[in-house]
């Protein structure tokens, strides 16, 4: 660097409100300092290569040297000078040959710039007459991120002689790490494993070095006595649906299963394997814990649900319920046909697998069977209810007394039909109390809402039921439609006070009702369609 000499003698010049100290020119060839003042660098900074840095200064553009001499400093030159002041030698580099004397220059520090803790910036006017030098600052590389170190233990607590893993968690630094474990576990890898034969608390110290940084962390494990593993019991829950007729192309509940932990620790369920008869009629399976969806899987006969840790936990000495639902495929006559059945079960060996939350021991369901009810898949099904306005109250002796009215609704996408050609039946039960009879059978008649006779059956005085066979006419209910069945009976013998009669539909046997789907497949379903029994009103002689 050129040896600029700071001149001591000065002359005071007043320019407006600004006061400048002007070096007295001893020798016009010597440059004059003190005209410029650096704002930045201010001294002591560390400028990073590859970044942009503001060089700022103060200095006049118009300089009155004497009443008759005026200097104009419109542009300046900036020079970087680096070197240890104790050694004397410097390395000078021109930052910019000419820039406006406006007090600011944005300097893009080259990435290949030499690094030094002793750098200054020199500012000159273009003639080299005036100059100044900034305080010392440094030029260096971007420092690496702060090194962060922590560690964890799994399982914790652990049991005696159980494998324990001490795992590191490291970030920041240069990205290259040196590990050292000591104390309860020794090693030089990111993780360290050990086991402990006696009860107690054990500490492992992790030390990590990355570049010039080093950090350490301590993790502890509590070793306890082994916990009895107990057993895992599976069963069909009482809330699981009973056997039913279900509509294709709908989502149904196949079953609700109870998983019980008969032990002293929580069980974290990892896997549930199902066996589904007729599972090829399923498009998607859904597994729920209450209203929480645990997972989905494609249809088939052996769906397997893999659960994440903590997703399904059975409390110790308690139980949880899981619900299996299925989105059925439509009844197309090929893959799925009317009358196909579907049954879900948890029945294979070790179908349910779990891990003891404290012991870490795997516990399985062993050889157990929990089977849900069988569902029959159809394209349409009837729903039978007692119709509003069905008679009750006073009984009148007659050979054709109206005894009951039933609504028949169609749930599905095809016709529900009753006809003799398909051997369809509609069985009505009879409660009766009569004090006299002539021993001659009387007729019971089934009609539709238009008065068309569907079936006429001769019934003995002592008979407790009547089976209608639709010999006289077919009865058809279209999709989404509700129609009526009227039952008439011979009550001419009910003449004594308190003689009574009541009709009802029994769910004791599937044979109590059988229907066809569009005069095709016949479905016997009395236990399902008449579920809970359906009672008409009681008629009594006053």
Provide mean pLDDT across the span 210-222.
Answer: 92
Residue 175, both tokens: 């990205």
In a domain, 5, yes or no: no
Beta bridge partners of 93: 80
Residue 18 pLDDT class (50, 70, 90 cuts) = very low
Total number of domains in the chain: 4
3-state secondary structure of 542: coil
Are 102 and 240 found together in one domain?
no
- Contact present, 399 and 500 (Cβ < 8 Å): no
Are 254 and 109 found together in one domain?
no
Residue 517, both tokens: 């789907």
Find the farthest-apart pair of alpha carbons in the chain and give their distance in angstroms, rounded: 156
Residue 174, both tokens: 């240069």
Are 364 and 270 found together in one domain?
yes
Please return the burial class of 115, using the count of CB atoms within 10 Å of its CB with bins 0-12, 13-18 and 19+. Answer: exposed
At which of 140, 159, 192 does a domain end? 140
Handedness of CA 432, 438, 439, 440 (dihedral sign): negative
In a domain, 186, yes or no: yes
3-state helix, strand and coil shares in percent for the chain, rounded to the nearest 5: 0, 55, 45
Looking at residue 530, what DSSP letter applies? T
Are 372 and 408 found together in one domain?
no
Residue 333, both tokens: 């006559």
| Residues sharing a CB contact under 8 Å with residue 17, sequence separation 6 or more, in sequence order | none
Are 317 and 180 found together in one domain?
no
Residue 389, both tokens: 């306005």
Are 514 and 391 found together in one domain?
yes
Are 461 and 325 found together in one domain?
no
In a domain, 424, yes or no: yes
> Is there a cis peptide before residue 157, judged by omega within 30 degrees of 0?
yes
- Contact present, 118 and 136 (Cβ < 8 Å): yes
Q: Is the pLDDT of residue 209 over 70?
A: yes
What was the pLDDT predicted at 462? 87
From residue 239, alpha-carbon distances to 25, 160, 290 in Å are: 107, 42, 12
Are 135 and 182 found together in one domain?
no
pLDDT digits (tens, 9 = 90+) for 406-453: 999 999 999 999 999 999 999 999 999 988 888 899 999 999 999 999
Of 342, 347, 346, 348, the C-alpha closest to 282 is: 342
> Is 239 or 117 the better-scoring residue by pLDDT?
239
In a domain, 390, yes or no: yes
Q: Is the pLDDT of residue 250 over 90?
A: yes
Are 488 and 359 found together in one domain?
no
In a domain, 459, yes or no: yes
Are 203 and 265 found together in one domain?
no
pLDDT digits (tens, 9 = 90+) for 123-174: 998 888 868 899 988 888 777 789 999 999 999 988 888 899 999 999 998 8
At which of 123, 140, 157 does a domain end? 140
At which of 348, 378, 408 does a domain end? 378
From residue 255, alpha-carbon distances to 26, 240, 244, 282 in Å are: 107, 5, 12, 14
In a domain, 1, yes or no: no
In a domain, 22, yes or no: yes
In a domain, 366, yes or no: yes
Strands 401-412, 482-489: pairing kind:
antiparallel
> Is there a cis peptide before residue 155, judged by omega within 30 degrees of 0?
yes
- Contact present, 386 and 535 (Cβ < 8 Å): yes
Instruction: Output Rg (C-alpha) for the chain, integer angstroms.
Output: 48
Are 398 and 338 found together in one domain?
no
Q: How far apart are CA 46 and CA 57, in angstroms?
A: 18
Of 380, 366, 386, 368, the C-alpha closest to 414 is: 380
**Domain of 171: which CATH number?**
2.60.40.10
- Contact present, 184 and 214 (Cβ < 8 Å): no
| 213 φψ region: left (φ > 0), alpha (ψ -120 to 50), beta (else) | beta
Are 37 and 60 found together in one domain?
yes
**Domain of 271: which CATH number?**
2.60.40
> What's the whole-model pTM score?
0.59
Domain that holds residue 160: 148-224
Most confident of 47-61, 74-88, 260-274, 280-294: 280-294
């Amino acid at each position: 660097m050129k040896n600029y000499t700071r001149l001591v003698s000065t002359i005071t010049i007043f320019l407006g409100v600004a006061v400048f100290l002007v070096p007295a020119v001893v020798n016009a060839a010597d440059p004059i300092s003190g005209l410029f003042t650096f704002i930045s660098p201010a001294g002591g900074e560390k400028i990073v290569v590859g970044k942009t840095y503001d060089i700022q200064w103060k200095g006049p553009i118009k300089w009155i040297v004497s009443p008759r001499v005026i200097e104009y400093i419109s542009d300046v030159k900036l020079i970087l000078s680096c070197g240890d002041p104790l050694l004397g030698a410097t390395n000078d580099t021109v930052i910019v040959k000419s820039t406006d004397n406006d007090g600011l220059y944005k300097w893009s520090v080259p990435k290949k710039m030499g690094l030094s803790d002793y750098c200054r910036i020199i500012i000159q006017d273009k003639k080299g007459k005036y100059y100044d030098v900034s305080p010392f600052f440094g030029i260096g590389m971007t420092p690496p991120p702060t090194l962060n170190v922590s560690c964890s233990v799994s399982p914790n607590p652990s049991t005696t002689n159980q494998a324990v893993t001490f795992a590191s968690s490291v970030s920041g630094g240069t990205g290259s790490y040196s590990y050292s474990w000591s104390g309860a576990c020794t090693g030089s890898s990111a993780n360290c494993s050990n086991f402990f034969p006696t009860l107690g608390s054990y500490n492992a110290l992790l030390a990590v070095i990355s570049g010039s940084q080093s950090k350490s962390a301590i993790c502890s494990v509590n070793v306890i006595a082994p916990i009895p593993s107990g057993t895992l019991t599976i069963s069909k829950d009482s809330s699981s649906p009973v056997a039913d007729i279900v509509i294709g192309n709908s989502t149904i509940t196949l079953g609700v299963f109870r998983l019980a932990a008969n032990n002293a620790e929580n069980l974290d369920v990892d896997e549930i394997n199902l066996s589904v008869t007729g599972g090829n009629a399923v498009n998607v399976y859904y597994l729920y814990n209450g209203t929480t969806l645990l997972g989905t899987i494609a249809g088939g006969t052996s769906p397997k649900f893999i659960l994440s840790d903590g997703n399904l936990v059975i409390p110790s000495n308690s139980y949880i319920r899981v619900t299996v639902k299925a989105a059925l495929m439509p009844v197309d006559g090929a893959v799925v046909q009317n009358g196909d059945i579907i049954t879900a079960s948890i029945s294979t060996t070790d179908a349910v697998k779990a891990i003891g939350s404290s012991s870490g021991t795997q516990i399985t369901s062993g050889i157990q069977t929990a089977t849900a009810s069988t569902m029959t898949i159809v394209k349409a099904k009837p729903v039978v209810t007692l119709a509003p306005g069905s008679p009750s109250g006073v009984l009148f002796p007659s050979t054709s007394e109206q005894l009951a009215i039933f609504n028949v609704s169609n749930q599905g996408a095809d016709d529900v039909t009753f006809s003799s050609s398909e051997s369809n039946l509609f069985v009505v039960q009879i409660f009766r109390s009569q004090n006299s009879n002539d021993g001659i059978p009387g007729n019971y008649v089934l009609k539709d809402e238009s008065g068309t006779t569907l079936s006429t059956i001769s019934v003995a005085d002592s008979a407790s039921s009547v089976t209608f066979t639709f010999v006289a006419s077919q009865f058809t209910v279209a999709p989404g439609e509700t129609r009526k069945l009227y039952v008439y009976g011979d009550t001419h013998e009910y003449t004594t006070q308190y003689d009574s009669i009541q009709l009802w539909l029994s769910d004791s046997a599937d044979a109590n009702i059988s229907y066809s789907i569009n005069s095709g497949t016949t479905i016997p379903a009395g236990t399902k369609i008449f579920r809970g029994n359906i009672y008409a009103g009681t008629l009594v002689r006053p």
